[in-house]
Amino acid sequence: MPAASVISVLDDDPYVRAAINNLLKSRGYIVHTFASAEEFLSSSVATDTSCVIADIQMPSMTGIDLLTLMRAQGSSTPFIFITGYPDESVRTRALKAGAICFLGKPFAPTDMMQCLHRALAPGDEAQG
């Protein structure tokens, strides 16, 4: 794992943001948290993020909408999606849009770390 990997966590639930932040910081990642996609997009780290971990359902812009927008702007930043409402059709949409992983909440820390390692490894394909 590169020590300088910057992970952006987007979730409208402050407890989820804090939990993922604590997990990833304990593993040596640089973590930035955001309550919305818009907050992330207007930040200075949006272009320097190594991986985005985003909730599917957020106010205004969904995680899939954010991924689609970033891809349209030429970004290849890996995405991991998390959701409290894991649904097979949404999972399929997320993976087709280019997500590396799709995790239902609550998820095991080991599952998140496996997804993150996959997202940061060069040349890997979507799974989840």
Residue 127 lies in a domain: no
Dist. CA 112–CA 108, nearest whole Å: 7
pLDDT tens, residue order, the chain (128 aa): 444 699 999 999 999 999 999 999 999 999 999 999 999 999 999 989 999 999 999 989 999 999 999 999 999 999 999 999 888 999 999 999 999 999 999 999 999 999 999 999 875 444 44
The domain that holds 14 is classified in CATH as 3.40.50.2300
Q: Is residue 125 part of a domain?
A: no
pLDDT for the residue 124: 46
Task: Give residue 86's pLDDT.
Answer: 85
- What's the total number of domains in the chain? 1
Please check whether residue 53 lies inside any domain of the structure: yes
The DSSP bridge pattern shows strands 30-34 and 6-10 to be: parallel
Which residue range(s) make up the domain with 115? 6-120
Is 128 inside any structural domain? no
Single pTM value for the model: 0.91
pLDDT at 123: 59
Residue 52 lies in a domain: yes
Let me know if residue 38 belongs to a domain. Answer: yes
- Residue 32 in any domain: the answer is yes
- What's the chain's length in residues? 128
Residue 1 domain flag: no
Q: How far apart are the first and last CA of the chain?
A: 20
